[in-house]
Structures are given as structure tokens and as C-alpha cells.
Amino acid sequence: MASNGTENGEFSFASNIRGRNGLSKIQTHKKNQDEICHDDSATPVKAKTIDELHSLQRKKSAPTTPIKGTEGAFAAISEEERQQQQLQSISASLASLTRETGPKVVRGDPARKSETPKVSHVTHHHYAPTLSTSDSGLKFTHILYNLSPAELYEQAIKYEKGSFITSGGALATLSGAKTGRSPRDKRVVKDESTADELWWGKGSPNIEMDEHTFLVNRERAVDYLCSLDKVFVNDQFLNWDPNHRIKVRIVSARAYHSLFMHNMCIRPTPEELEDFGTPDFTIYNAGQFPCNRYTHYMTSSTSIDLNLARREMVILGTQYAGEMKKGLFSVMHYLMPKRQILSLHSGCNVGKDGDVALFFGLSGTGKTTLSTDHNRYLIGDDEHCWSENGVSNIEGGCYAKCIDLAREKEPDIWNAIKFGTVIENVVFDEHTREVDYSDKSVTENTRAAYPIEYIPNAKIPCVGPHPKNVILLACDAFGVLPPVSKLSLAQTMYHFISGYTALVAGTEDGIKEPTATFSACFGAAFIMLHPTKYAAMLAEKMKQHGATGWLVNTGWSGGSYGSGSRIKLAYTRKIIDAIHSGSLLKANYVKTDVFGLEIPTEIDGVPSEILDPVNTWSDKKAYKDTLLKLGGLFKKNFEVFTNYKIGTDNKLTEEILAAGPIF
């Protein structure tokens, strides 16, 4: 054991000198002054400081594809120039409208101060230069551009209170005081063009504001964002149809918002990002900062403002991420019909033979459950376009309700809640980080946002041929609508404009009774034009492509809520299967009273007696009274739509009205 290591001149075991317990004593040998003592068991790292070591850990990732349309081997611009162009574009987005330049922006996290910032700002020549400057004009705003989920996790956990990694790997976040949308605080700029184009007045979701007030709120949001050390910028797409996709830029102050939109919008490839250019629409999310209550049109400290002429949206006073998703959906409801494309609040799936079905339905009707079918591919769960090319999903992700989520009931959603998914306002065990989906301590509106590819049978790209079936779902708690009816085009328009379901609400004395709910086009909060316009487009496309309309009741049978019972999900699935297969088209039909609905006499796997609701009620008079009551509610709801004209006459509206209940 004499000289293990002596050839390196570092140490040796000297046999003639004994230490304690008789062991050989280790002797070190002096080396030359300029030599470094190191461990030879591995090659030494090429770093002199811990920061250098950390920089070695992170490998640079940058696309090197030349921009389309350039020619020659050296035509591609350098990565530095490309980044400079991106920063100039972002600086332009963040520019105040009262100053000559955008803010000084620099890429990267301000916490990593190793690099010297390279200034980028944009001069707006059409404003007279001012001699004064501001404090915000002297500082840098760091841009965290299209960060990956892993990077956004780090930012959220480090800087945002209430952000945690759950046991399944998802990022749990809090949306602050607001745990849902604020429709009463949403405003749309009314100008010369939108005054005529949009639906205003009774029944409309569009509450007006003027251009000046929008600019006041925009300035407030931009000043807030520019005052921060860092902002998150996402450049992404809407609409999977490449011919009709929209470029969107989201500027936000929270990693939570950036990851949410990373999941919900379509994620560009590195090559698509190189060629992104100027966005078609920009969101300024300054939700942590309130609006000024003294500003005209403001009724609270929250304001969500859309300016369709400027293609901009401003969010103040709410951190609920769903405002961005649904704000962009409203924008698509305006932009797409201008291209003769129908925007739809629906689920969509496609069979192995290419037969596409659209599912419309309000909350609680079973839209998510019925459009998720393991024998079919999911195109999308919520927002779609129907163009000359067929159907396409608007989004790149799903936004699923989590309350009472169980693996047995909804395995696809359960399994999608993993690394990369954002879960909002859920409660979890402080030690194990296991989520308790039944806990409503923060809110009942707990949600998960995840990329659509997390669903195993998602069809990527999320596009399909023209729909064969248009399924309108209603949960009729009055128990008088048939389990399924075949609709004429006029009836499809009538029930599409009505957007009916019935909720079960408690009354003063604790008895629960049905309450009719109507939401035009099954998404009244998001439509921009008059509902009849969307209905006419739907009927036109259905006629052109030979699609059939169906009304499916997933609610009660044999009596209203309290006396009847809910139609079994197994029966509803059999009905949907018969629609998909085409066998229901071949059935024999009879017509009902009042609503004039065509109902089949038999469906495989469904008891024939339940197909006509009158058979299931023991009290026939109570059935008739309830049917007339519901018919009256439909008529009353439709009054707001009767005076609308398409073209010079009322012919279309009269045709639609005639397809409603008659008594």
C-alpha cells in the first residue's frame, strides 16, 4: 500500500510512519506554486465561479431557420438582429400614446444581472417630441418572452404568493379576489363602425364606452406594466385553420397568466415565432392594478375593455385568467363573421369515418361529457370556427371545471392535470400537496387549463371536415322536452337563438324548483353581433353541407324536478351514438304538440315509452300545464329578437318565429 497517488505528487501512504491504531499516515507533497490541487477522478469543470457553472448548466436554444422569402445562403438575419426586431415590436406594443418612444426593453430575467442590457425602443415620428422625461423612461423593462412551462413554474413559485406544485405536478395558483368573469365590467368601444355592426341594447352583452375612456384605461395599464421590473410577453395564435389564424400578443405581469395563455392559445413553433412580426390583436393584462373609479363608464375597480378598431384589450382590477380567454373569443365572434366564417361556442368531435358533430349546451347540460367519447377524436371542447374548409378549434387547450372531479367519472381530465397544467383556486393538503377537488373553500369555480394534446384522443391539428350533425343540448328540469328531437333548419335557428336550459334553484322556503335560463347562441356573454346573424349563418352552412339539427334533453323525464327522474346518461349516450351512426335519420317520427318537435318512435337500447314525454307523466293535466308554461317562457324570451331584420324585410325572423312553440 506504499505509493497510491505518488506519481501525481499529491499524497502518499508512508509505511514507515505510523498514525493512530497503527495505520499508515498520509503525507502530502508540495507542488509547484502555479499548479492547482484537484480531484483527478473526473475532468474538472470549465468554470472559475459558481455563476459560470450555472451558465454552463443552461444550454442556449435558438431557432436558426432563415425567414421565409429570403434568398441565398447568407440571407438569414442574425439571431441578435432577430431578437432586436422582436424587442422593437414589443416596445411598440407597450408605447404610451402621449410620449414619443416606447419603453426601454431588454430580454431576460432581472434577477440574472450578469448581462449588460441592450436598449431597444421605438420612436413614433407622428408625435411631436417632448423635452420632459419620466422616471419610467429612465429604467429598463425586462421582457420574459414566450417562456416554457418549466421557466414559468420557477417564476410563479419564486415571486407569486399562493403558487405551489401539487403532488401530480400541476401548478396551483390563486386568481385573487375575483374567481370568475365580471361580465358587468366588460366594455366595448362604440365608434362609427361598431355602432352599426354590433348588437347593442336590451339583451346584448355589449356595454358601450367611448374611445377616449378606452385610451385612459390603456394608458393606465401600459404605465403600470412599464413600471414593473419585468413583464411576460406571449406571442401565439388563435384558430387551427392556417388560412384564418389570428396572431395574438399577451402582455401580462404574472407567470400564472403567461402559463395559462401558453396552454389556452395555439403554441407557435420556433420557426413560426421567427416570422411572427406584428400581432393582429394585443391584450394588456394589468389585472393586479385597479381602474380609476372616477373615469367615465367605470362602475367598479374592475374593467375589461375591448377596442375593435385598435385591435386591443385592456384588463384592470381582475386577475381571473378566464377574462383573457373569453375576451379573445368575443374578438373572434367579431372578426370571423367578416370573413363569412361562423364562430361557435361548442364542443366538437369527429368519428373514424370523418363524420363531425358539434355540441352546443349551457353549463350542466353534459356538453363536456358527451363530446368526450373514446370512440371518436376530440377536435375541441369549447370554441370553434366553421369556414369554407370545415371546422377548426380556435384554441390550443382546454379549460375544465374541477369541482368534485373524480378519476372514475372523468379520467381524461384527471390525467391531464400534470406538469404544465395550471389549476386555479383549488385546495390541497399542505404537506402532501394532494388536491381536494371537493373543497369549495376558495370558490366553486375551480378550473384546470392544459394543452389539448394532454387529452389522449385529441385530433392534432385540431381541424375536421364539415359537420354532419349539430346537437343542441338542454337540461330540461321541467321534464316536458323529449329525450331527442330532429329539427328543421328553422327550428334549429329558433332553438340556437334561444339557447335554453333549466337550472334547479332554491326558493325562499327551501323548495327547489326549475328556473328557465336562456343564453343566445348558447354563449350570449361572448357574442358581438345580433344572434339572428349567427343563426342565419349556421342554417346556411347546414343547408350547404347537408347537416342535421337535433335537440337532446339530458334533464328530467316522468315529471319536473322533484317528482320525475333524470334521464339516464346511458340512454343519452345511446341516442348520441344513433345520431353519429346515421341510424336515427332512418327512424319513424311523430310530431309533438306545442313545440312541434319530430320525435323518433324507437331507438336501439332506449325504452320506447320515454321517447315521448307525455307517456312518462302519470298526471297528464300537469304535463300539459307544464308544457304550456315552458312554451310561454320561450315566447317571452324571444320577444327581444323579433324586431331584427336581415336585409329589407322580416321574412327570416318570421320563419324562425313560426318554428317556435305554437298554442
Question: Is beta strand 303-307 parallel, antiparallel or unpaired with respect to 186-189?
Answer: parallel
The answer to whether 597 touches 485, Cβ cutoff 8 Å, is yes
Cell numbers standing for residue 115: 448581462
State pLDDT tens for residues 554-571.
Answer: 999 999 998 999 999 999
Contacts of 529 (CB under 8 A, 6+ apart): 197, 198, 199, 333, 334, 337
Band of pLDDT at residue 112, cut at 50, 70 and 90? confident
- The size of the chain, in residues, is 663
Alpha helix ranges (H) inside 419-505: 489-498
Rounded CA-CA distance 638/497 in Å is 8
Rounded CA-CA distance 281/269 in Å is 19
Mean pLDDT check: name the lowest of 33-37, 71-75, 165-169, 330-334: 71-75
Helix (H, G, I), strand (E, B) or coil at 467: strand
Q: Residue 343 — φ and ψ, nearest 5°?
A: -95, 135
Residue 96: how many other CB atoms lie within 10 Å: 19
Residue predicted with more confidence, 62 or 611: 611
Cell numbers standing for residue 168: 401530480
Q: Residue 106 — φ and ψ, nearest 5°?
A: -145, 145
C-alpha torsion sign, points 555, 558, 564, 570: negative
- The secondary structure element, H or E, covering residue 219 is helix 211-227
Helix (H, G, I), strand (E, B) or coil at 225: helix
Per-residue pLDDT, 111: 84
Per-residue pLDDT, 580: 98
With a cut of 90, say whether residue 315 has pLDDT above it: yes
Per-residue pLDDT, 539: 96
**Secondary structure (H, E, C), 555-596:** CEECCCCCCCEECCHHHHHHHHHHHHHCHHHHCCEEECCCCC
C-alpha torsion sign, points 593, 597, 601, 605: negative
Rounded CA-CA distance 222/153 in Å is 25
Rounded CA-CA distance 51/143 in Å is 22
State pLDDT tens for residues 394-407.
Answer: 999 999 999 999 99
Residue 650: how many other CB atoms lie within 10 Å: 14
The answer to whether 576 touches 471, Cβ cutoff 8 Å, is yes
Per-residue pLDDT, 559: 95
What percentage of the chain reaches a pLDDT higher than 90?
73
Per-residue pLDDT, 297: 87
The answer to whether 616 touches 558, Cβ cutoff 8 Å, is yes
Rounded CA-CA distance 377/457 in Å is 5
Per-residue pLDDT, 475: 96
Cell numbers standing for residue 638: 324571444
Nearest to 448 by CA among 266, 239, 264, 319: 264
Cell numbers standing for residue 228: 414593473
The CA-based dihedral angle spanning residues 622, 626, 627, 630, taken in that order and rounded to the nearest 10 degrees: 180
Helix (H, G, I), strand (E, B) or coil at 24: strand
Contacts of 16 (CB under 8 A, 6+ apart): none
Residue predicted with more confidence, 412 or 38: 412
Mean pLDDT check: name the lowest of 486-490, 586-590, 652-656: 652-656
The answer to whether 378 touches 454, Cβ cutoff 8 Å, is no
Nearest to 224 by CA among 186, 250, 251: 251
With a cut of 60, say whether residue 166 has pLDDT above it: yes
Buried-state track 341-352, b at ≥16 Cβ within 10 A, e below 16: bbbbbbbbbbbe
Please state at what angle helix 489-498 crosses helix 651-658, rounded to 10 degrees: 90
The answer to whether 110 touches 228, Cβ cutoff 8 Å, is no
Per-residue pLDDT, 123: 41
Q: Residue 598 — φ and ψ, nearest 5°?
A: -85, 115
The answer to whether 245 touches 237, Cβ cutoff 8 Å, is yes
C-alpha dist (Å) from residue 86 to 81, 103, 107, 523: 9, 14, 10, 36
Rounded CA-CA distance 522/514 in Å is 19
Cell numbers standing for residue 497: 337563438
Average pLDDT rounded to a whole number, residues 582-593: 97
Per-residue pLDDT, 12: 56
Average pLDDT rounded to a whole number, residues 618-645: 94
On average, the pLDDT of the chain sits at 89
The answer to whether 188 touches 211, Cβ cutoff 8 Å, is no
Claim: this prediction has a pTM higher than 0.95: no
Rounded CA-CA distance 438/314 in Å is 34
State pLDDT tens for residues 16-26.
Answer: 666 566 666 66
Rounded CA-CA distance 632/661 in Å is 8
- Output Rg (C-alpha) for the chain, integer angstroms: 31
Nearest to 121 by CA among 102, 142, 138, 107: 102
Amino acid at 656: I
With a cut of 70, say whether residue 103 has pLDDT above it: yes
> Which sequence positions are flagged as catalytic?
181, 326, 345, 363, 367-368, 382, 447
C-alpha dist (Å) from residue 109 to 16, 122, 456: 60, 21, 35
Nearest to 623 by CA among 524, 557, 578: 557
Per-residue pLDDT, 345: 97
With a cut of 60, say whether residue 218 has pLDDT above it: yes
Residue 363: how many other CB atoms lie within 10 Å: 12
Rounded CA-CA distance 661/663 in Å is 7
Residue with cell 374567481: 179
With a cut of 50, say whether residue 1 has pLDDT above it: no
With a cut of 70, say whether residue 125 has pLDDT above it: no
C-alpha dist (Å) from residue 330 to 239, 304, 307, 619: 13, 12, 11, 45
The answer to whether 108 touches 83, Cβ cutoff 8 Å, is no
Per-residue pLDDT, 501: 96
The answer to whether 351 touches 321, Cβ cutoff 8 Å, is no
Rounded CA-CA distance 333/344 in Å is 8
What percentage of the chain reaches a pLDDT higher than 70?
85
The answer to whether 484 touches 575, Cβ cutoff 8 Å, is yes
- The single-letter DSSP state of residue 606 is B
**Secondary structure (H, E, C), 123-151:** ECCCCCCCCCCCHHHHCEEEEEECCCHHH
Nearest to 557 by CA among 597, 612, 504, 509: 612
Average pLDDT rounded to a whole number, residues 214-231: 96
Rounded CA-CA distance 350/377 in Å is 5
Maximum average pLDDT range among 16-20, 68-72, 318-322: 318-322
With a cut of 50, say whether residue 71 has pLDDT above it: no
Question: Is beta strand 171-173 parallel, antiparallel or unpaired with respect to 164-165?
Answer: antiparallel
Average pLDDT rounded to a whole number, residues 459-463: 98
The CA-based dihedral angle spanning residues 63, 69, 75, 76, taken in that order and rounded to the nearest 10 degrees: -10
